[in-house]
């Protein structure tokens, strides 16, 4: 029986690395894996249709299909399993389409993405996946603050090396954007400017 799986973690937790590893296993077993990504993700350059996705941790890329309208585009593609990169950008409709793939076609869907944005709010796609996925698993990593060994659960966003307190969930097209993955204690401390 097929499953809809959601693997989540903070930036730098190895989500795409895990996706690539699972993709290669499915490929080795001749399960014809397809990787898809919402077109909103343009960190690797604007891609429409076939492009690539890559992991910053292992410096490896694999083919990925960037979609604008999943319901119209998915049925034109060939697959026996589906992997979703940057799943936090999925819409409720996208998740319904993928649920139908699992339930009606008996095909596994493995989605990888962030749970929350840099404001500590659930991404819409992640919220829907937390409700609809059959299997939910966190990919943990440690806080980016030196000497902190707590689990990173939050993000700090920097634009041009300055802390960005903008309330927008996504800042893909705003200057030089970087992130730190931090524990809850350091997130509160840095956001508020207070020592805890």
Coil vs helix vs strand at 130: helix
Domains of the chain: 4-138 (3.40.50.300)
Write down the pLDDT at residue 59: 75
Write down the pLDDT at residue 47: 67
Annotation marks residue 173 as catalytic: no
pLDDT digits (tens, 9 = 90+) for 80-129: 999 999 999 999 999 999 999 999 999 999 999 999 998 999 999 999 99
Cβ-Cβ contacts under 8 Å for 36 (sequence gap 6 or more): 64, 65, 66, 67, 70, 74, 77, 82, 83, 84, 85
Distance CA 105, CA 79 (A): 11
* Active-site annotation holder among 18, 73, 86, 168: 86
Strand partners, 83: 35, 110
pLDDT digits (tens, 9 = 90+) for 10-26: 998 999 999 999 999 99
pTM of the model: 0.90
**Phi, psi of 3, deg, nearest 5:** -130, 155
Work out the number of other CB atoms within 10 angstroms of the CB of residue 155: 21
Write down the pLDDT at residue 178: 87
Quote the tokens at residue 158.
């920097």
Write down the pLDDT at residue 44: 60
Distance CA 35, CA 37 (A): 7
Distance CA 142, CA 86 (A): 20
């Amino acid at each position: 029986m097929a499953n809809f799986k959601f693997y989540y973690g903070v930036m730098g937790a190895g989500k795409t690395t895990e996706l690539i590893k699972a993709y290669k296993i499915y490929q080795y077993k001749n399960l014809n894996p397809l990787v898809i990504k919402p077109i909103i993700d343009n960190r690797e350059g604007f891609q429409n249709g076939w492009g690539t996705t890559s992991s910053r941790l292992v410096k490896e890329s694999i083919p990925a299909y960037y979609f604008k309208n999943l319901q119209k585009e998915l049925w034109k593609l060939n697959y026996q399993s589906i992997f979703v990169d940057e799943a936090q950008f999925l819409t409720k409709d996208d998740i319904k389409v993928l649920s139908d793939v699992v339930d009606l076609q008996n095909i596994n869907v493995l989605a990888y993405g962030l749970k929350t944005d840099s404001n500590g709010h659930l991404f819409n796609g992640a919220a829907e996946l937390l409700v609809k996925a059959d299997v939910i698993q966190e990919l943990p990593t440690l806080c980016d603050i030196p000497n902190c060994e707590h689990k990173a659960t939050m993000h700090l966003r920097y634009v041009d090396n300055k802390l960005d307190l903008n309330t927008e969930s996504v800042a893909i097209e705003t200057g030089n954007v970087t992130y730190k993955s931090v524990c809850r204690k350091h997130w509160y401390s840095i956001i508020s400017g207070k020592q805890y």
